[in-house]
Amino acid sequence: MYDGLKTNASKNSESALQTVDINAYINPQSYFISFGGMSYTKVYDQTVRNQIWENVQPYIFSALSNYETFESIDEKTYVEAFSTKSILLKMPLELRFSDLAVLYGIEDVPKEMEEIIPIEYLIVSDQTRELYLRDGRSNQYYKVKSKTYTHDIPALIESIKSREYIEYRKVSDRFSLESTVSENENYMNYTLIPYQYDYLVPNLQVQTEVNLDSAQFDDQIRTIAKAVFGNRFDFIKRLEDINGSVIFMYGYGDKALTVTPEGVVSYNQKYSVNEKTRISVAKALSLACGNLEQFGILPSGVNLIKYRSELESGIVVQTFSFNYKLGNYEVVPQNSLDADIKVVVKGDQVIYITKNVKSYIGDAILERALDYDKMYDIDECITSNFLEVSIYYLQDNNIYDASMNSIQYYFSIRSAISSIEMNYYQLDETHMVPVWAVNISGRTYIFDAYTGNIMTSYR
User: Is pLDDT above 90 for 71?
Assistant: yes
Task: Give dist(CA 27, CA 325) in Å, integer.
Answer: 13
Q: What is the pLDDT of residue 334?
A: 81
pTM across the whole model: 0.92
Give the SS3 label for residue 403: coil
Do the beta carbons of residue 270 and residue 254 sit within 8 Å? Answer: yes
Intra-chain end-to-end CA distance of the chain, in Å: 48
Residue 384: exposure state from Cβ atoms within 10 A (0-12, 13-18, ≥19):
middle
Packing angle, helices 154-161 and 46-65, rounded to 10? 160
- pLDDT band of residue 1 (cuts 50, 70, 90) is very low
State the pairing for strand pair 303-312/315-323.
antiparallel
Mean pLDDT of 237-258: 92
Closest CA to 117 of 145, 79, 147, 91: 91
State the pairing for strand pair 325-326/329-330.
antiparallel
Domains with residue ranges and CATH for the chain: 27-165 (no CATH), 205-362 (3.30.310.160), 366-458 (no CATH)
pLDDT digits (tens, 9 = 90+) for 180-224: 999 999 999 999 999 877 888 999 999 999 999 888 888 889 889
Do the beta carbons of residue 342 and residue 262 sit within 8 Å? Answer: no
Mean pLDDT of 24-40: 96
Packing angle, helices 10-19 and 281-294, rounded to 10? 80
